[in-house]
Amino acid sequence: MMGTKDQDEVQKFLKGFVDEFATPLGPGQQLPVAPLSLNLTLQEVTGESLDLGLRLLSARHAPSWLSAPMCHAAVSELLKDDLSPFHCPRDPEQPDDESDIILLQSQPLLRLFINKLREVGVAWQKGLPNQQPRSTRSCLCSVHAIRNTRRKMEDRHVILTHFNQLLGLQDGVKREYYAVFDGHGGVDAATFAATHLHVLLSQQEALHSDITTAFKNAFTQTDDMFRIKAKRERMRSGSTGVAVLLAADWLTVAWLGDSQAMLVRRGEPVVLMDPHKPEREDEKQRIEALGGCIAYMGCWRVNGTYAVSRAIGDYDQKPYVSNAADCSSVQMCGDEDYVLLACDGFFDVLRPDDVPGLVLAALRDSDGSGRDVARSLVAEAKAAGSTDNITVLLAFLRDPRDLLLAETCQSAKN
Taking only the tens place, the pLDDT of each residue in 144-170 is: 999 999 999 999 999 999 999 999 999
Q: Is the pLDDT of residue 176 over 60?
A: yes
Q: Which residues of 70-79 are buried (b: 16+ CB within 10 A; e: fewer)?
A: bbbbbbebbe
Instruction: Summarize pLDDT for 212-269 with one digit per residue, the tens.
Output: 999 999 999 999 999 999 999 999 999 999 999 999 999 999 999 999 999 999 999 9
Could you tell me the pLDDT band of residue 129, with boundaries at 50, 70 and 90? Answer: confident
Write the DSSP assignment of 47-87 as a string of letters.
HHHHHHHHHHHHHTT--HHHHHHHHHHHHHHHHHS--GGGB
Helix 400-413 × helix 355-365 angle, to 10°: 100
* pTM for the whole structure: 0.94
Q: Which residues of 245-269 are buried (b: 16+ CB within 10 A; e: fewer)?
A: bbbeeebbbbbbbbbbbbbbbeeeb
**What is the pLDDT, as a whole number, of residue 412?**
61
Name the phi and psi angles at 247, rounded to 5. -135, 120
Quick one: average pLDDT of 49-65?
A: 95
Percent of the chain with pLDDT over 90: 86
Name the residue ranges covered by the structural domains of the chain: 4-126, 140-413
Q: Is the pLDDT of residue 133 over 50?
A: no
Rounded to the nearest integer, the mean pLDDT of the chain is 93
Q: In angstroms, how far is CA 25 from the centroid of its own chain?
A: 29
Q: Cα separation of 237 and 42, whole Å?
A: 22
Q: Is the pLDDT of residue 355 over 60?
A: yes
Q: Is the pLDDT of residue 61 over 60?
A: yes
Could you tell me the pLDDT band of residue 127, with boundaries at 50, 70 and 90? Answer: confident
Q: Is the pLDDT of residue 132 over 60?
A: no
Domain 140-413: give its CATH code.
3.60.40.10
Looking at the DSSP assignment, which residues form a beta bridge with residue 394? 142, 340
Q: Cα separation of 165 and 175, whole Å?
A: 10
Quick one: average pLDDT of 324-333?
A: 97
**What is the pLDDT, as a whole number, of residue 91?**
72
Q: Where are the alpha helices (DSSP H) in 247-385?
A: 281-289, 344-347, 355-365, 373-383
54 touches 67 (CB < 8 A): yes
Could you tell me the pLDDT band of residue 405, with boundaries at 50, 70 and 90? Answer: confident
**What is the pLDDT, as a whole number, of residue 28?**
86
**What is the pLDDT, as a whole number, of residue 79?**
97
